[in-house]
Amino acid sequence: MFGRRHSSPISKGLAGTHAARYINGGSDDSQAGGEAADAGAELPEKQAPFRQSPKEAPEFAAPRTREAVAPHIVKIRDQILPQLIERIDVEAAADLNREELHNEFAPLVAEVLTELRLTLSRPEQEALEQIVIDEVIGYGPIEMLLADPEVTDIMVNGPNQIYIEKRGKLELTDVIFRNEDHVRAIANRICNRVGRRVDQSQPLADARLEDGSRVNVILPPLSLRGTAISIRKFSKKPIDLDQMIRQENLSANMAKFLKMAGHCRLNIVVSGGTGSGKTTMLNAISKMIDDGERVVTIEDAAELQLMQPHVIPLETRPKNLEGEGEISIRDLMINALRMRPDRIILGEVRGPECIDMLQAMNTGHEGSMCTLHANSPREALTRMENMAMMSGLKYPMRAIRQQIADAIDAIVQVSRMRDGGRRVVQITEVVGTEGDVITTQDLFEYQYERDSEDGKMIGTFEATGMVPHAAEKFRQFGFDKAAREIF
């Protein structure tokens, strides 16, 4: 279908300079999103991040099982790629799924191997076809890592060093790119598919993969070891609170409280460090939202996986080449208030949008949620005070604290612990204020006891015995009996 001897509507002999650069691993900054960013325009997305069936878009993702590729196969790939460049139309290939591409590449790869007088067994030839497809429409050598369900993070530190996280622990892989240009080409491909730009004029970019996995890219000279790509993968099947109980991330009573809090429209902040599972927890709590509610989500890179039918996902936009057209989280937050939402879910609060979120929570948008980086519930409150002050509004500190106390009902503190496990270490209720101080009470906490022989932390999730002030709200929603069983 692609080859010179195969007639096809998508064959054009030469793939063109732009395609050639992609396959060879060359950088094409002038075309990698620059045109899309011109005059504030965005490249069209090839896949939406929310509940898209395979029939709705080309299948870019790799199969879920993938074995490591032998080194001699990789060398042969480098030999045949120049020949393949002359025989395929990369843009047309991108419209096919992997099964169709396998059918088209099989005779083409065999033809090139014959011309180069190279002999491979059928399994080796199939492995070669797979990595060639990865180069043409996929993400090159990291495709096998993306296909591994046990890998939760992929960290590319230049062409010669790739780390992954498995079961909460970092591991160095033997996967490498050919050179810096190869890494840059894959970074461009990731960003282009979601209408983002990364080049020397815009060396930082947040993007996402087709399955919603979050991606951050930073180019040299800001990254001294070469292009750095950080990928946070998300489970194909969103984790719920019941599964978290089985994984010992929290106790059954904690899960019951969070289910009631989500259903009864408490305003919740999920706090924790980097990689602690804040977004996963937010997704799990959001399952309690009623299908009849209109929900607006706001994120830098869309990664929330809400299953309700009436969800409006919003995503920020960076500046274009002229330095214009930027749409910030705060811009989206202000606009969301005009969209008649029942709830607003903010992926992460990190700046002046905090004051707008607090005001939304205080003005009829009960049940709104957000995440932020903090090491404890008390530190989370302090950070919210600081971010509210970043808005430039001349509110006295006492007024800001009162607004926080009125807006926030509960803080869920999650942590990635030294054994790699992620646990809910605290659930704290915001009670009110006493003078200039925000008062809180802990409802649940994790008590560490000892380490097991295999290094796993052993501990218990304990209720503090405090009765939440939200008990009356639970009663109004018919959960008074369930609340009494917990507290």
Residues 6+ apart with CB under 8 A from 415: 272, 273, 276, 422, 423, 425
Radius of gyration of the chain (CA): 25
* CATH dotted code for 17-232: 3.30.450.90
Walk along the chain (487 residues) in steps of 10 and give the mean pLDDT of each run. 42 40 43 39 38 37 51 74 72 74 80 81 80 82 92 95 92 92 94 89 90 92 96 84 95 96 97 93 95 95 88 90 87 94 95 93 93 96 95 89 96 94 96 94 96 92 94 92 89
pLDDT at 413: 98
Quick one: DSSP state of residue 192?
Answer: H
Tokens of 291: 């299908």
**What is the Cα–Cα distance from 401 to 431, expressed in whole angstroms?**
12
Mapping DSSP to helix (H, G, I), strand (E, B) and coil, where does residue 227 land? coil
Mapping DSSP to helix (H, G, I), strand (E, B) and coil, where does residue 331 land? helix
**What single letter denotes the amino acid at residue 273?**
G
Tell me how many degrees the CA angle 316-322-324 measures, rounded to the nearest 5: 35
- Is there a shared CATH topology between the 17-232 domain and the 241-486 domain? no
Neighbours of 247 (CB within 10 A): 12
Contact, 470 vs 266, CB < 8 A?
yes
pLDDT at 267: 97
Neighbours of 469 (CB within 10 A): 13
User: Any idea where the domains of the chain sit in the sequence?
Assistant: 17-232, 241-486
pLDDT at 68: 59
pLDDT digits (tens, 9 = 90+) for 268-321: 999 999 889 999 999 999 999 999 999 999 998 888 889 899 999 999 988 877
**What single letter denotes the amino acid at residue 370?**
C
pLDDT at 153: 94
Neighbours of 470 (CB within 10 A): 19
**241-486 belongs to CATH 3.40.50.300:** yes
**What is the Cα–Cα distance from 487 to 441, expressed in whole angstroms?**
13
Parallel, antiparallel or unpaired: strands 343-346 and 295-299: parallel
Tell me how many degrees the CA angle 248-231-357 measures, rounded to the nearest 5: 75
**What single letter denotes the amino acid at residue 260?**
M
Parallel, antiparallel or unpaired: strands 311-315 and 214-218: unpaired
**What single letter denotes the amino acid at residue 348?**
E
Residues 6+ apart with CB under 8 A from 61: 146, 147, 209, 210, 211
pLDDT at 251: 96
Q: Which of 287, 282, 266 is nearest to 367 (CA)?
A: 266
